[in-house]
Amino acid sequence: MKRNKQWDVRGAVGFAALFHFLYSCAIGCLLPFLTLYFRHLGLTAVMTGTIMAVKHIVALVWRPLSCILARRHNKRRMVITGSLVCSAAVVLALLLFPPTGKSTESRSCNISQLSAVHELSLTTLKPKTTEKFSSPVVYSTEHKLKPAQEHNNTENIPAMPVNISALHNNQSTIVTTTSSQSDRQESLEAKKVQMPSPGKRSRSLTKREQKQQETDKIQYEFLGSLKVMDTQHQMFFLVMIIIILWEILAAPLMWTADDGLHEYLDFVDATERHRAVKPWRLLGTAGGMGCSGILVSILYCLIGTVLHFYTYALLMVLTVPLAALLPLYRHKREHVPGAGLKALHLVRGDSQAVLCAITAVLTGMAGSAVSDFLLWQMQDHNATELQMGIILAVVPLCQAAFAPLNGCLTRLLKVHGRLLPIGIMGLSLQCLSYSFMWTPWTVLPSQVLAGISIGALWWSLEAQSVDIASPGTELAVKRVFETLYLDLGAGLGSVAGGFVVQKFGIKALFQGTAAMLGVWCITLAVLQWRIPRQRRINYSRLLAADASEMSESESEQDNDWLEKAMEVDNVNNNWRRLD
């Protein structure tokens, strides 16, 4: 690398923000509405929850592994480009499956509603016309008797003449059929007698013929089991295969792009600029939800809900040229070996971090249950795609608006753990309000509360990751909490949510989720009060502090703290730089 090469940090961050904006917009167009499409295909709540849980589990295992492989072989750009193209192609395969005919959705197009109303009016008019002209028609006034009434009224039936010749013919046909059946049985018994014993037959057959018969028998049993399976379960397994393949292709994209950008900014000592990308992701997600909802609501009677898939594929293809110019860098000298395992060890060794990890899992379960089945409840209340898109877009917009307040909250609270129970309580109230929905627009205040609560939750988790992280593991510790929330907690929540909705209903799901979060909020507040808090020194803040703003005594005290911390850090620091 040349020494005089100019590094445009602002341009690199802006280009990465545009890439993440388009990608998040594509995700927002499809992913929140995916469970609604599963309902359109006729899948039950348990099937939907299982498919979403498998999707999260695949991401939990494959995402970190794929990022490690992409970095080790220096194939990040190729992985990003291939993920964009292949995931857009694979997800369109879901459109090849027709509905099973057992769709549980209640919404239909306006034209179909008009035709249904017209048919209903015709059917309601028919009985009136028949009643009016029923006097000359004898069979229109007859009523069908129940089996018990027919049996009781057999005495009143008049005697009917019987055709003896016809009875004779029927008896002859019965005799012939019975004789033919007896002949068939005798022939089968004769064949069984003539068949050789298993030992003689095995001697006459070759090994190749025996293997061919065994394979034919296995194939026949497999095809027979598929024929026995109903269309709903066939659809379930086919959709699960497509979703697993889609997640395998799409999972490495976000972390791989993040790793390259983080190492690029770390090389030029501008790691703090990495935070500027997150608000653009949230804005892209909100834009994708709102725009796709508006377009589908307008064009629903023409193409239906498949527009979500087409907009996703189109935006993913438009992001491919940006991936070719995405700022990526492989920092060979500043990589910490085993950063993920070290991050897990740091989280496990701090009591406050363990509480944050449990909070991430429980809130991930609640968030997954809400996101999977909220649109089902809104659809039951006759919500349109326009209402769904706007209501869903409120949450990321509030999160993006919460991001500039991080500095003010840091100076105001001084301890980020105090905001964690408040965020959980907000999510509990949000879930409780969903269970009392009577119109779709009543969810809007709850969505505002949810956006602020999720923003406070993530700010607290990120602050905790900064407190416990050692040099070189900041991003890895942050991803531990992200994985617990988005993958592990979301997978458990999808499975549990599907079974609860199937057995008790959607309202019971929201009420149970609210109760779970409320209990954990009280428990977390008590545990935070009882557990002593260990404050860790932030070296960068001490070194960046202005000497003019501190008195001599404060500066001497900070220097003493800094010397002690550097001595402890030299003893306990086990990581080294790779040349």
| Token pair of 121 as six digits | 């009016």
Q: Quote the pLDDT of residue 414.
A: 56
Cβ atoms of 431 and 366 closer than 8 Å? yes
pLDDT at 63 over 50: yes
Distance between CA 459 and CA 465 in Å, rounded?
10
The share of the chain scoring above pLDDT 90, in percent, equals 39
Any domain includes 168: no
Distance between CA 564 and CA 142 in Å, rounded?
102
Per-residue pLDDT, averaged over 522-545, amounts to: 69
- Residues in contact with 404: Cβ distance below 8 Å, sequence separation at least 6, in sequence order: none
Lowest pLDDT segment from 3-12, 143-152, 374-383, 537-546: 143-152
Our CA dihedral for 93, 96, 97, 103, rounded to 10 degrees, sits at 100
**Do 325 and 370 lie in a common domain?**
no
Spell out the alpha helix ranges (H) of 73-144. 76-91, 110-132
Any domain includes 236: yes
Domain final residue pick, 312, 330, 348: 330
pTM for this predicted structure: 0.72
**Do 374 and 460 lie in a common domain?**
yes
Domain final residue pick, 301, 330, 359: 330
- Indicate the pLDDT class of residue 410, thresholds 50, 70 and 90: low
Query: In terms of Cα–Cα distance, which of 350, 359, 339, 351 is closest to 263?
Result: 339
Per-residue pLDDT, averaged over 447-466, amounts to: 89
Distance between CA 119 and CA 520 in Å, rounded?
53
- Indicate the pLDDT class of residue 33, thresholds 50, 70 and 90: very high
Distance between CA 476 and CA 465 in Å, rounded?
9
Q: Quote the pLDDT of residue 176.
A: 44
What average pLDDT does the structure give for the chain?
75
Query: In terms of Cα–Cα distance, which of 415, 190, 388, 365 is closest to 288?
Result: 388
Any domain includes 471: yes
Q: What is the pLDDT of residues 347-363, one digit of tens each?
A: 988 888 999 999 999 99
Any domain includes 473: yes
Angle between helices 351-380 and 490-503 (to 10 degrees): 40
What is the residue type of 97? F
Query: In terms of Cα–Cα distance, which of 424, 419, 414 is closest to 467?
Result: 414
Any idea what the CATH number is for the domain that residue 244 is in? 1.20.1250
Q: Quote the pLDDT of residue 113.
A: 38
Domain final residue pick, 498, 519, 535: 535
**3-state secondary structure at position 18:** helix
**Do 301 and 381 lie in a common domain?**
no
Q: Quote the pLDDT of residue 330.
A: 66
Any domain includes 119: no
The angle formed by the CA atoms of residues 456, 509 and 99, to the nearest 5 degrees, is 110
Any domain includes 202: no
Q: Quote the pLDDT of residue 24.
A: 95
Any domain includes 545: no
**Do 430 and 300 lie in a common domain?**
no
Q: Quote the pLDDT of residue 1.
A: 37
pLDDT at 332 over 90: no
**Do 267 and 323 lie in a common domain?**
yes
Lowest pLDDT segment from 112-126, 392-406, 521-535: 112-126
- Indicate the pLDDT class of residue 530, thresholds 50, 70 and 90: confident
Lowest pLDDT segment from 271-275, 426-430, 543-547: 543-547
| Token pair of 492 as six digits | 């458990």
**Do 377 and 443 lie in a common domain?**
yes
Q: Quote the pLDDT of residue 578.
A: 40
Any domain includes 206: no
Q: Work out how many domains the chain is built from and give that number.
A: 2
- Indicate the pLDDT class of residue 193, thresholds 50, 70 and 90: very low
Quote helix, strand, coil % in the chain, to nearest 5. Answer: 80, 0, 20
Per-residue pLDDT, averaged over 530-552, amounts to: 54
Domain that residue 431 falls in: 339-535
pLDDT at 48 over 80: yes
Lowest pLDDT segment from 140-154, 276-290, 448-462: 140-154
**Do 455 and 360 lie in a common domain?**
yes
Q: What is the pLDDT of residues 295-318, one digit of tens each?
A: 988 887 777 778 999 999 999 999
**Do 455 and 515 lie in a common domain?**
yes
**Do 281 and 368 lie in a common domain?**
no
**Do 492 and 398 lie in a common domain?**
yes
**Do 315 and 453 lie in a common domain?**
no
**Do 405 and 309 lie in a common domain?**
no
Any idea what the CATH number is for the domain that residue 530 is in? 1.20.1250.20
Q: Quote the pLDDT of residue 229.
A: 72
Per-residue pLDDT, averaged over 154-164, amounts to: 41
